[in-house]
């Protein structure tokens, strides 16, 4: 560890003016640079037909429990509201490129406010059965031109514990559909090809209310608030977060450069804006709202989640504005961060300061150009035109309606 180097960084970052940002080109980005992709306008590139579903699949759930309007899974609700008034919506299903089923599978909550994992797949199956029985469009493709919001911890595997999620796998009826989900991890059974990884919901209004002045010095080197152990499900810390969070605590709880704790103070958001680096380790799943909060508040995300697939990775320059640390390297976290040259820190901070980057990770109400809603639409537009394998031949079936866990086949 090099505390003197870190101290110099802290002082220097507080007084150095940000130089003009140079563009960094990444291979494979659709429009050549991050700004171009983030500013793409999806209007005119696709048309979406929104199914009119019985209220029990969506609005009635919100009426019964409004907590789901504020939790990190709420993108499925706000995406529905956005599409109803979006310029990409078509009322003519024959003209549609995509079909959307508004079903709020994370809005059926336990008393503690968590989505019920055994009810979500039953609800989704019921909704798909209704769509297939009411309109002809599902049966033309077995869902291959349909997209669904599945913002559970492990997406359409519908469980918060990875072992159970892997056991269930992606709901069989969704295996031809495009899944728009917060979960993203390469080579994982809960992420199928063609999925669109999105940020978790973080209330733009709440974040805006906690903004501090632009001249506030960043006097905290490393910041983190959250669990290190899940004492109820994994008291020894070897399974929860694959041991990464436990390693952070064990190695750095007494390190003066690390402001880390399980306590969640009232000044949490303000503290993030006073920090240079914000740790974003995996928990039960690799993603969390902490990543969005760090970007919005200009704190360099330190991403500790091997094989994570980040939101809108084809549009947002994550490699340029974050620090990636392998889970096995957590014990060296102090030396890794203090070794980053000051110009590289300032470059990341200038990228994080861009309004287009912040806006792309937020589901604004009302929607704003380039926000997360528009990034979802751009992701769908980039998948067009549909290939010939999307449409089935008369009488052809690609899905087994009776496949899946026996418990998931029960009526909802």
372-381 helix and 75-84 helix, angle to the nearest 10 degrees: 70
**Do 253 and 148 have their domain in common?**
no
User: Could you report the per-residue pLDDT of 229-259, keeping only the tens digit for each?
Assistant: 988 877 766 789 999 999 999 999 999 999 9
User: Could you report the per-residue pLDDT of 120-155, keeping only the tens digit for each?
Assistant: 999 999 999 999 999 999 999 999 999 999 999 999
Contact (Cβ atoms closer than 8 angstroms) between residue 124 and residue 173:
yes
What is the pTM (predicted TM-score) of this model? Answer: 0.91
**Do 195 and 94 have their domain in common?**
yes
Distance CA 351, CA 10 (A): 19
Contact (Cβ atoms closer than 8 angstroms) between residue 200 and residue 72:
yes
User: pLDDT truncated to tens, each residue of the chain (412 aa)?
Assistant: 454 445 545 544 553 433 333 333 333 333 335 555 687 899 999 999 999 999 999 999 999 999 999 999 999 999 999 999 999 999 999 999 999 999 999 998 888 888 888 899 999 999 999 999 999 999 999 999 999 999 999 999 999 889 999 999 999 999 999 999 999 999 999 999 999 999 999 999 999 999 999 889 999 999 999 999 988 877 766 789 999 999 999 999 999 999 999 999 999 999 999 999 999 999 999 999 999 999 999 999 999 999 999 999 999 999 999 999 999 999 999 999 999 999 999 999 999 999 999 999 999 999 999 999 999 999 999 999 999 999 999 889 999 999 999 999 999 9
Closest CA to 349 of 300, 315, 310: 300
**Do 266 and 296 have their domain in common?**
yes
Closest CA to 155 of 120, 126, 189, 190: 190
With respect to residue 59, please indicate whether it lies within any of the assigned structural domains: yes
Tokens coding 123: 């609800």
3-state secondary structure at position 221: strand
**Do 173 and 222 have their domain in common?**
no
109: domain range? 48-201+371-385
**Do 220 and 183 have their domain in common?**
no
CATH code, domain with 308: 3.40.50.2000
**Do 95 and 121 have their domain in common?**
yes
**Do 136 and 227 have their domain in common?**
no
3-state secondary structure at position 35: helix
**Do 59 and 152 have their domain in common?**
yes
**Do 181 and 309 have their domain in common?**
no
3-15 helix and 342-352 helix, angle to the nearest 10 degrees: 50
Please state the separation of Cα 299 from the chain's center in Å: 18
**Do 197 and 241 have their domain in common?**
no
- Give the phi and the psi of residue 115 in degrees, each rounded to 5: -60, 140
Tokens coding 316: 């947002």
| Number of domains forming the structure of the chain | 2
User: Could you report the per-residue pLDDT of 199-213, keeping only the tens digit for each?
Assistant: 999 999 999 999 999
């Amino acid at each position: 560890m090099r505390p003197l180097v870190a101290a110099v960084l802290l002082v220097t970052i507080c007084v150095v003016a940000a130089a003009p940002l140079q563009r960094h080109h990444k291979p494979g980005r659709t429009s050549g640079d991050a700004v171009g992709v983030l500013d793409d306008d999806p209007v005119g590139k696709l048309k979406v037909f929104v199914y009119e579903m019985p209220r029990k699949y969506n609005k009635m759930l919100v009426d019964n429990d409004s907590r789901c309007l504020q939790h990190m899974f709420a993108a499925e609700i706000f995406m529905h509201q956005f599409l109803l008034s979006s310029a990409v919506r078509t009322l003519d299903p024959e003209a549609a490129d995509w079909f959307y089923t508004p079903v709020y599978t994370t809005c059926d909550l336990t008393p503690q406010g968590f989505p019920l994992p055994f009810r979500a797949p039953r609800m989704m199956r019921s909704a798909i059965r209704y769509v297939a029985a009411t309109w002809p469009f599902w049966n033309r493709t077995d869902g291959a031109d349909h997209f669904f919001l599945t913002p559970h911890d492990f997406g359409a595997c519908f469980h918060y514990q990875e072992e159970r999620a892997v056991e269930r796998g992606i709901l069989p009826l969704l295996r031809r559909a495009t899944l728009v989900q917060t979960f993203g991890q390469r080579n994982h059974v809960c992420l199928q090809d063609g999925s669109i990884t999105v940020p978790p919901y973080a209330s733009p209004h709440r974040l805006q209310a906690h903004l501090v002045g632009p001249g506030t010095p960043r006097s905290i080197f490393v910041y983190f608030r959250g669990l290190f152990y899940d004492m109820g499900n994994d008291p020894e810390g070897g399974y929860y977060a694959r041991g990464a969070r436990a390693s952070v605590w064990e190695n750095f709880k007494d390190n003066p450069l690390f402001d880390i704790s399980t306590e969640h103070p009232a000044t949490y958001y303000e503290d993030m804006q006073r920090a240079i680096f914000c740790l974003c380790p995996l928990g039960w799943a690799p993603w969390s709202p902490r990543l969005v909060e760090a970007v919005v508040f200009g704190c360099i995300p330190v991403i500790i989640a091997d094989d994570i697939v980040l939101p809108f990775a084809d549009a947002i320059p994550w490699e340029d504005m974050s620090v990636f640390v392998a889970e096995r390297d957590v014990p060296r976290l102090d030396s890794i961060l203090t070794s980053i040259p000051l110009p590289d820190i300032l470059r990341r901070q200038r990228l994080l300061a861009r309004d287009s980057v912040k806006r792309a990770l937020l589901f604004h109400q009302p929607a704003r150009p380039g926000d997360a809603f528009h990034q979802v639409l751009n992701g769908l537009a980039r998948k067009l035109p549909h290939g010939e394998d999307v449409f089935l031949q008369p009488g052809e079936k690609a899905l087994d309606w009776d496949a899946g866990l026996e418990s998931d086949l029960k009526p909802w």
